[in-house]
Structure 1
Amino acid sequence: MRGLLPRPSGADPLVSGRSQLLRVGGRSVAWLPPLVLLFLIAVVDWASGSSFRIISWVVLVPSVAAAICGLGGTITAAVLAVVIYVVEDRAWPHQYRTGLPDFVLVVLGGALAVLVCAVRLRGERRMLHMQDIVETTRRAVLRPLPPGWGGLDHAAVYLAADSVARVGGDFYDIQPSPLGTRVLLGDVQGKGLGAVAAASALLGTFREAAYHEPLLDTVADRLETRMRRHIRYGAAIGRDEDDRFATAVLLGFPPADPGHVEFINFGHEPALVVTPGGIRALPPGGRLPLGFGDLGGRPPGAVRAPLAPGETLLLVTDGVSEARDTAGRFFPLLDRLTRAVAADPGTAEPGRLVRLVRDGTLRHCRGRLGDDTTIFALRRPRPPGEP
């Protein structure tokens, strides 16, 4: 899963978030461009003679520092610019000096650059603080899954269409229980905080119901009820939730039947079973999307399908299936998987499979995702000693 690396206690968030492009060997070299510019201006001014005095251009030096350096670096650049200006200008005869007006320009330019740098750093601190809040929210919705959680090998990646917000309506989780491991993946219609709130509500219900309820059908009913309650609550507080719904796939791995999987599909893309020998799709298992359950009759029960240990289930949201290239063509997921597995059967391993789909999707749409994208792969491990 995507996430921020933990920051050392007491570390300056501004230093942690600063661009790595101006670092060499872990050390900042942001001071180098202003220093080089200052040196070049001084050399050119001295070498060009009295007919082309450019020493007042040193006013650019603190401006460049304000854009890439910290406050201390910008103050240093401003002071150095004034010092170099005074020293070099006074080295010329009186009639060739640029004089007081340019000196005032350099001093004021340096002072304004320091002010701009302070404003920039304050904005960066606020932005990093907001990113930390968003990351905390995302991790609360999409909790980290330990390796082997629920007795399953798994791998997942979540890519938000909004690269700044980094959170959306996609959701997934694995819930171990005494009745077998249950898995949920889904996509709430819409974007923004409303979609995040709906995803959080569904995940909370899933984690409780999947642990306590003996039947997968009952877990599905609880999810449907929770979605309708969430819609009614949103309407009661004045939010427009009338068209809110969620597509999802609910899976159950019965401990007494390791050769099969149970599932209920709420209008979502069917899961794919990826094996070294080929790819097949699970049956549709059709229920209406969550939130629309009252529009149909009695919902169908869980579907049981063969799934041997070592066979990988791949679940994706429509950020993958609806990714388009510049010509408007959809991402050919099944074709890419078929060719990749045929070339290397080891591609069916969950981690490699998720990376393959992620990289293929991003290349296909050139990094411009039209929707939040989740790629989730899981499988029962083979018994020890079995190839």
Structure 2
Amino acid sequence: MRGPVGGRWELFGGLVRAAGRGDAVSRHELLSVRGRNVAWLVPLLMLTCIAVADVATDVFQIIAWTVLVPGVAAAICSVWSTAVFAMLSVVVYLLADMVWKHREETGLAGLMLVVLGGAIAVVAAGFRVGGERRMLHMRDIADTTRRTVLRPLPVGFGGMDHAAVYLAADSEARVGGDFYDIQPGPHGTRVLVGDVQGKGLGAVETAAALLGTFREAGYHEPDLATVAERLEIRMVRHRAHTAALGRSDGDRFATAVLIGFSPGLPDVVEAVVFGHEPPLAVGPRGVRVLPVVGGLPLGMAELAPTGRSGTPPVHRLRLAEDETLLLVTDGVTEARDPAGVFYRPADDIAPAVAADARSAAPTRLVSLVRDGTLRHCRGRVADDTTVFAVRRTSGGREPGADG
């Protein structure tokens, strides 16, 4: 259960992330009340205050400040709203200059300044809105790419209760080198979570290649070791292809964890670790690290000592039915606080599960780790971050052969 401090951190983190993105969606979120955009209230309040102050005081002439109103509107309002405030500024200026007449007239120079300022604000709003539309279009493309690489997983897919949180280090790209998937098949349900070295579109392309191979091999191959070998071969082939194209990212590798849930074995899982953080088992009895000996990352099997296979071994491990597997990428384990201390997810998970065993459920577990990571690094995500939790569904339904 989150305390008041955790709740405040979650709210603060959400505001920081929304304000920090600096895009149209963020401004809409921050300047909306119950889904209605109230950005126009800001320049309206400003114009009202200027008019009232000009009438109420004789110390200095403040009405010329109306030139600032359309400029503020240009930053947060639509083009039409900006044009309306530009005209309102001229009207208020003329009222003060010709109707109220509680001081000397400001003259034509002041009026021209307000008119010119309004015209410039309308043009600036047009450029801003056009740029935002292009940005939102690119964002839609990035979201489509993300859904293609990290396909949505149905509830209960493959007989698994699962949840995932993905935070891209590049908030504009919204997708990076982290990847995860669940693949049910006739030989059980397989799970893959990994992290491609590096960032950018090259990392996304590599992740897509590995996921494509996993979805086919994970369905057809009866042996998890064969699935692991297929992933290694795909990584080597992909590197050779990018190198042949003359690209500088032809030496990428990927860390990953491959998990197999076999039919008829409710308390056993198989695991292959390619240079990745080992999974955590989280349940009512606490948190434990699965005793897995990790091998080399995908794409580096050739560096294995002579006489040894470059593919990591398959480990058969005990996993209670009420335990959840937690898999994270280095965006979590390498998150640092201002003092440079690394984040340890178990420090947050253990007391939460001890206080409420329901915290081990995948949805609550990934939220707990996400909030802890953002709190620890003060919202500054330096690397792509994935938190993935999975366990067999209650009721013991066997993995299906669909998907």
Q: Does the 8 Å contact 2:150/2:180 carry over to 1?
A: yes
The aligned residue for residue 6 of structure 1 is none
Tell me, yes or no, if structure 1 residue 330 matches structure 2 residue 342. yes
- C-alpha distance in 1, partners of 2:237/2:375? 40
- C-alpha distance in 1, partners of 2:113/2:147? 50
CA-CA distance at 1:308 after TM superposition: 2.7
Comparing 24-33 with 64-73, which one deviates more in the overlay?
24-33
Q: 1:15 to 1:272 in 2, by over 3 A?
A: closer
1:73-111: per-residue Cα shift (whole Å, max 9, x none)? Answer: 111111111122223212366992111111111111110
CA-CA distance at 1:216 after TM superposition: 0.8
The aligned residue for residue 40 of structure 1 is 49
- C-alpha distance in 2, partners of 1:384/1:175? 18
Tell me, yes or no, if structure 1 residue 357 matches structure 2 residue 366. no
Aligned to 1:304, which of 295, 316, 322?
316
CA-CA distance at 1:28 after TM superposition: 2.4
Tell me, yes or no, if structure 1 residue 207 matches structure 2 residue 206. no
Tell me, yes or no, if structure 1 residue 91 matches structure 2 residue 103. no
Unaligned 5+ runs, structure 2:
1-22, 398-403
CA-CA distance at 1:336 after TM superposition: 2.5
Aligned to 1:66, which of 71, 74, 79?
74
Q: How do 1:252-267 and structure 2 match up within 5 A?
A: 252-267=260-275
Q: Does the 8 Å contact 2:274/2:312 carry over to 1?
A: no
Letter in 2 for 1:250: L
| Matched pairs, number | 371
Tell me, yes or no, if structure 1 residue 232 matches structure 2 residue 240. yes
1:182-238: per-residue Cα shift (whole Å, max 9, x none)? Answer: 110000011111111110100011001111111111111110011011111111112
Aligned to 2:255, which of 247, 264, 271?
247
Letter in 2 for 1:368: R
Q: Does the 8 Å contact 1:285/1:302 carry over to 2?
A: no
Letter in 1 for 2:332: V
CA-CA distance at 1:17 after TM superposition: 6.5
Tell me, yes or no, if structure 1 residue 57 matches structure 2 residue 65. yes
Letter in 2 for 1:26: G
Q: 1:32 to 1:232 in 2, by over 3 A?
A: same
- C-alpha distance in 2, partners of 1:196/1:365? 25
Letter in 2 for 1:357: V
- C-alpha distance in 2, partners of 1:175/1:95? 78
- C-alpha distance in 2, partners of 1:316/1:93? 69
The aligned residue for residue 359 of structure 2 is 347
Q: How do 1:1-387 and structure 2 match up within 5 A?
A: 18-49=27-58, 52-91=60-99, 96-296=104-304, 297-298=308-309, 299-383=311-395
1:4-52: per-residue Cα shift (whole Å, max 9, x none)? Answer: xxxxxxxxxx986652332234332222222222222223323334x63
Matched residue SS, 2:367: helix
CA-CA distance at 1:311 after TM superposition: 1.6
TM-score of the superposed pair, with normalisation by structure 2: 0.87
CA-CA distance at 1:151 after TM superposition: 0.3
- C-alpha distance in 2, partners of 1:124/1:184? 36
Matched residue SS, 2:335: coil
Q: 1:40 to 1:347 in 2, by over 3 A?
A: closer
Letter in 1 for 2:55: W
Comparing 310-319 with 237-246, which one deviates more in the overlay?
237-246
- C-alpha distance in 2, partners of 1:17/1:301? 46
Letter in 2 for 1:314: L
Q: Does the 8 Å contact 1:17/1:128 carry over to 2?
A: no
CA-CA distance at 1:142 after TM superposition: 0.7
Q: Does the 8 Å contact 2:183/2:190 carry over to 1?
A: yes
CA-CA distance at 1:326 after TM superposition: 0.9
Unaligned 5+ runs, structure 1:
1-13
Q: Does the 8 Å contact 1:180/1:255 carry over to 2?
A: yes
Q: Does the 8 Å contact 1:169/1:196 carry over to 2?
A: yes
Q: 1:94 to 1:346 in 2, by over 3 A?
A: closer
Q: Does the 8 Å contact 1:274/1:314 carry over to 2?
A: yes
- C-alpha distance in 1, partners of 2:335/2:25? 33
The aligned residue for residue 7 of structure 2 is none
TM-score of the superposed pair, with normalisation by structure 1: 0.91
Q: Does the 8 Å contact 2:278/2:292 carry over to 1?
A: yes
- C-alpha distance in 2, partners of 1:47/1:342? 63
Letter in 2 for 1:367: G
Comparing 16-25 with 239-248, which one deviates more in the overlay?
16-25
Percent identity, please: 62
CA-CA distance at 1:170 after TM superposition: 0.5
